[in-house]
Amino acid sequence: FFDEFTQHAFPNFREFSTHDVLAGQLGIASFMAWVGALSKPSTTHIRENLIEVFAERKNWVSIFFIGSTITSVGTIALWYLFKSIEDEQYSSAAFFNAFLLATSCVLWFVICKARLQVHIHCIVKTMLPSTLVTIVLGALFGIATSFTSFDPWVVSMAVVMVGLRIAWDKAT
């Protein structure tokens, strides 16, 4: 709310947007859905190893450089690829795909540093069917909201985040 009020109050010529407020609330709800994901006794090993990884400053620096480099280079490369294939600019799609790639690389870095490959492999195998259903549901919600003035990516990602949390609970 504060962000929208300040954008409306300051002379940047941007009106108050209820869609942005709703997008922010969906993001907060998605975050809140994941609170406590590592609090079960079955995930104690994961939590302890992750605490060790995140306690070191060099890991944070590595995460920053991995994420920012892959996002930047990936966005530029995908933008040129989409531009050469379609002769149109797909900046949002290029950034979104590069951001997903960067997120995957950061997660892989953290999993390797925390020595959780075997443990996570078992959880991912259990989560796979639910994850696929969640992705399909996210796409369907995105398609359903594409006929409105609301951004379908926001709804899709919120559905995927909550669905993945449900799949995580079933797997752990």
Tens-place pLDDT, residues 9-55: 666 666 666 777 777 787 888 888 888 888 888 888 889 999 999 99
Whether residue 109 sits in one domain with residue 137: no
Whether residue 122 sits in one domain with residue 98: no
Q: Note whether residue 134 is domain-resident.
A: yes
* Mean pLDDT, all residues of the chain: 86
**Relative orientation angle of helices 152-171 and 117-145, to the nearest 10 degrees:** 150
Q: Measured between alpha carbons, how far is 158 from 166 in angstroms, rounded to an integer?
A: 13
**How long a stretch of residues is the chain?**
172
User: What's the pLDDT score for residue 67?
Assistant: 95
- By the 8 A CB rule, do 125 and 131 touch? no
Q: Note whether residue 35 is domain-resident.
A: no
Q: How many angstroms from the chain centroid is the CA of residue 138?
A: 13
Cα torsion 145, 148, 152, 158: sign: negative
Q: Note whether residue 98 is domain-resident.
A: yes
Whether residue 111 sits in one domain with residue 45: yes
Q: Note whether residue 33 is domain-resident.
A: no
User: What's the pLDDT score for residue 113?
Assistant: 93
- By the 8 A CB rule, do 143 and 149 touch? no
- By the 8 A CB rule, do 82 and 93 touch? yes
Task: Give the range of the structural domain holding residue 19, as residue numbers without chain letter.
Answer: 1-28
DSSP single-letter state for residue 88: S
Whether residue 61 sits in one domain with residue 47: yes
User: What's the pLDDT score for residue 93?
Assistant: 85
- 157 pLDDT more than 80: yes
The amino acid occupying position 77 is: A
User: What's the pLDDT score for residue 155?
Assistant: 84
User: What's the pLDDT score for residue 14?
Assistant: 65
Whether residue 130 sits in one domain with residue 108: no
- 146 pLDDT more than 80: yes
Whether residue 8 sits in one domain with residue 51: no
Q: Note whether residue 128 is domain-resident.
A: yes
User: What's the pLDDT score for residue 52?
Assistant: 94
Q: Measured between alpha carbons, how far is 45 from 55 in angstroms, rounded to an integer?
A: 16
Whether residue 108 sits in one domain with residue 60: yes
Nearest residue to 74 via CA among 107, 108, 100: 100
Whether residue 78 sits in one domain with residue 124: no
User: What's the pLDDT score for residue 75?
Assistant: 93
Instruction: Give pLDDT tens digits for 75-132.
Output: 999 999 988 888 888 788 889 899 999 999 999 999 999 999 888 888 889 999 999 9
Q: Measured between alpha carbons, how far is 9 from 151 in angstroms, rounded to an integer?
A: 24
Q: Note whether residue 11 is domain-resident.
A: yes
The total domain count for the chain is: 3
Whether residue 108 sits in one domain with residue 45: yes
Nearest residue to 93 via CA among 82, 85, 104, 84: 82
